[in-house]
Structure 1
Amino acid sequence: MTRRHLLAAATAGGAALASAIGARAQPVLQSAAPTRPARLRRGDLVTLVSPASVTYDQDTLLIAVESVEALGLRVRVGEHVMSRYGYLAGADRDRAADINAAFADDEVRGVIALKGGWGAARALPYIDFDAIAAQPKVMLGYSDITTLLNALLARSNLVGFHGPNGSSPWTEFTTREMQRIVFDGETPLMRNPQVRQDTLAVRENRTYPIVPGRARGRLVGGNLTLLSALAGTPYFPDTTGAIVFLEETNEYIYRCDRMLTQLALAGVFEKAAGVILGGFTDCDVSPGGYGRFSLHDVFEQHLVPTAKPAFSGAMIGHISQKRTIPLGVQAEIDAEAGTIELLEPAVI
């Protein structure tokens, strides 16, 4: 192919993507009663999909299949799960096609992301949100899957589940917490376990009130990087009166500050009823040396002026012991106690 043909092909591809975005971009849905999917039960069929980064190691897929089967579920692997398109798990249309196919299949009861990374946003223009709204199912994942979960809430009005990916370490805590929400439909009061071990004070899983108080609202959020990148698009859910939860990993403090600033400038915190900050794993350093802000400083600078209840330290995100948080479900937080209580089941 000549240089001219290569440039023409690239231009055509860009035009196709722009056309798809324009065709599918619709106003964000606003509803006080999002659609709850049917709960998962042992023996149900679920599909593993790869909405984001490529998987190079076959063992990653095999371990994910074995983990999900250990939950008592049957597993089908999406057609393009092991595809490669640069650093993505297949072309944008192909990754979206696996998601569309899983939701369209009457036999499939749930969809689980194999992993995160990057790329789910690129697939959004090719996802059939109307068809998904007509056949609601459990969608589970985290990290880059934040993009997909929030888009499903905004465009299909569907409750999604910010929890382990298929390839996550399914610890006893992580497994139990997911099953309580997705299988059993419980409405738990979530409080971090306080284990003192061989120390005079509790050192692990501590929560810190940033703005004391209680707040109620539907849960919206996920990974800070992806949520801030989604702001201003048709796939960003309405945060008016919401409880916004955020988590992050491996970012300098100034970058967290930049992304929190983006959300603040977009009015997210001012509109919200309250804020939960989960794990900010390996985000405790920043270039600049003496005089730099701590992560807690940055949290306070953005959240204290809003006077909305907020706390940090929730067991959400890139941590081995993670909770599953349902987007769209009504919850109440107590910032001083560091608790999250679901006020309604996330499944039917």
Structure 2
Amino acid sequence: MFSPLNKGDTIGIYSPSKPASVIAQARYERGKARLHALGFTLKEGVLTGKSDFYRSGTPKERAEELNALLRDPNIKMILPTMGGTNANSMLPYLDYEAFQQHPKILIGLSDVTAILLALYAKTGIPVFYGPSVASTFGEFPPLVHYTEQYFKELFVDSLTFPYVMPMPPIWTDDRLNWLEKTTEKTHHRNSWITVEHGVAEGRLIGGNVNTMYGFIGTPYFPQIEEGDILLLEDTSKTIAVVEKNFAMLKMHGIFDKASAIILGKHEQYDDLGTGRQPYDVLLEQLDGNLLPILAEVDCCHTHPLHAMPLGLRVRVDTTNKRITFMENWFS
């Protein structure tokens, strides 16, 4: 399927939504420097350094930037600069055949959910919910060191499967120091939360729920299968929006097929004074269908970040707060 990265291998970089190389240049350059320090060669997409206000280019321009990287035989992995809001507009123009013929390790999070799930839906090739160049690798130490360690374990080192996903000892969703370091961030002692007890094993599927809202029910959204384990996360939403988005998933029948749910940490969540967490809203939508639920997992917008394999089997033991990757993605 894939092969581990070696020093000197080429990673392609593209900007599917926000023009990070312009609006977050310092953070983008930090992220590139970290990848260079790991020994990788970087090939930047043609929209690097370009900006069309809130985006890096038109839908077709952004799709062609990614397509060029998908078609390049020398690229082994593709990372986004960061997310945004409009990656779904690229989906009709992506070269799915190129990805099918020459699979690459495709990683991203947030708005990149649309691209990840569309490419998986059209090809069946696993993709990875994980770090981006600016928003993730551009983070400051010490938190970025954990993200880098997990990245190396998953994509560089020779993994032994089954692989148990580690829980980092600390985390933050503090927005300080986005571009330049001015003060120390608040670090929290870490803990995942068992919302409902149980054990399940199945295909992992999901990502950013607000992004799913923009293309669910289309041919670019994967068919949810009986026994799937859902990965759900979001950032900077109010409880009202969280309820709207979970209700959307319910009305599409997704919760009826799932065997378990992994909820990522919600960066900068606003409970609007209710004192309720996203998992409280989720439980309302489940209507007594008490699936195993593990919440506050470090796999999304907060730091550190651990990548997750979409399209491959994982095992979730919510009682013991354990997530195990069951399938080897290296051929």
TM-score by length of 1: 0.82
Moved more, 239-248 or 294-303: 294-303
User: What secondary structure is seen at the aligned counterpart in 1 of 2:61?
Assistant: helix
Identity, % of aligned pairs? Answer: 28
Report 1:1-348 matches (<5 A): 36-55=1-20, 56-57=22-23, 58-170=25-137, 171-184=144-157, 186=159, 187=161, 188-193=163-168, 204-240=189-225, 241-286=227-272, 289=273, 293-303=276-286, 305-348=288-331
Q: Deviations over 1:248-301 (max 9, x none)?
A: 111001110110010111111111121100111221422xx5x67443321221
- Is this contact kept in 2: 1:211–1:304, CA < 8 A? no
2-structure distance, mates of 1:264, 1:185: 39
Q: Partner letter of residue 132 of structure 2?
A: N
Q: Partner letter of residue 209 of structure 1?
A: T
- Is this contact kept in 2: 1:39–1:138, CA < 8 A? no
1:304 positional shift:
6.2
2-structure distance, mates of 1:119, 1:228: 12
User: What secondary structure is seen at the aligned counterpart in 1 of 2:207?
Assistant: strand
Equivalent residue, structure 2, for 1:10: none
Q: How many residues align?
A: 303
1-structure distance, mates of 2:90, 2:106: 16
Moved more, 154-163 or 256-265: 154-163
User: What secondary structure is seen at the aligned counterpart in 2 of 1:275?
Assistant: strand
What is the root-mean-square deviation of aligned Cα atoms in Å?
A: 1.9
1:110 positional shift:
1.2
Regions of 4+ moved over 6 Å: none
1:236 positional shift:
1.1
2-structure distance, mates of 1:156, 1:257: 31
> Unmatched 5+ residue regions in structure 1?
1-35, 196-202
User: What secondary structure is seen at the aligned counterpart in 1 of 2:314?
Assistant: strand
Q: Partner letter of residue 173 of structure 1?
A: Y
- Is this contact kept in 2: 1:116–1:145, CA < 8 A? yes
User: What secondary structure is seen at the aligned counterpart in 2 of 1:296?
Assistant: helix
- Is this contact kept in 2: 1:46–1:111, CA < 8 A? yes
1:305 positional shift:
2.3
